[in-house]
Copies of this chain bind each other. A is one copy, B any other.
Amino acid sequence: MGPRTDLEQVVLGVVWKKGPVTAHGVRVEFSRSRTEHWSGSAGAIYPLMSRLEEAGLLRSSIDRQQARDRKMYRITTKGLRQLRRWLTPPLSDTAFSTQFDPLRTRVFFLGSLEPAEQRKFLDDAEQALQRQWAEHRDDRNDYRKKNRPFSAMAEEGAMATCRARITWIRSLRKKI
């Protein structure tokens, strides 16, 4: 009965990386993320981490040294094995399938706008993507400073897709 959802795997990964850590600490990590895919809401994280502990993938202990009691989570050997399994080929199909892109989705229906409005849409999109790229660049630089090379590499992935989308939007702009 290992983790079934990506969120469970990611929480496992966060505990591996930051552990020992509180459920609150995991939530903070989610709130810092640029993507809005998961909010890291209390209603999701607290029951989820209890489940992972019950499954033997996490283990918790009460830290009474601090000003107030804190439930510290660590990853277990079994948990680490599970994390590695999640990353070891062959990966599930869903790991590779093209993801939902609200911008691309909208382009399918761009023909319903007047050409002038279409151009406005594309100009707006390009600006937003440029802001987004800059945010990921800042995050990457932060990760480099903190000596977290894999997180920096992940941010470079986000930067690369931002650049590709900007180039794509510009090419549409020329066609219209």
Contact = CB atoms under 8 A, between A and B. Distances in A.
Contact of A35 (B89, B100, B113): B100
Interface stretch (A43-51, A52-60, A101-109): A101-109
Interface string A146-176: 0001110110111011111101100110010
Contacts of A156: 168, 171
A121 B154 CA distance: 14
Interface in A1-21: 6, 10, 13, 16-17
A174 to B, nearest CB: 11
B100 A154 contact: no
Most buried by B among A105, A125, A165: A105
A161 B105 contact: no
A153 B101 CA distance: 14
A80 B87 CA distance: 45
Copies in the complex: 2
Nearest to A92: B102
Nearest to A101: B99
Interface string A112-127: 1100010011001100
Interface of A: 6, 10, 13, 16-17, 34-38, 80, 83-84, 86-91, 94-113, 117, 120-121, 124-125, 128-129, 132, 136, 149-151, 153-154, 156-158, 160-165, 167-168, 171-172, 175
21 contacts: A13-B108, A16-B109, A17-B109, A35-B99, A37-B100, A87-B106, A88-B113, A88-B120, A94-B102, A95-B106, A96-B132, A103-B157, A104-B157, A107-B154, A108-B151, A110-B150, A111-B150, A157-B165, A160-B164, A161-B161, A164-B164
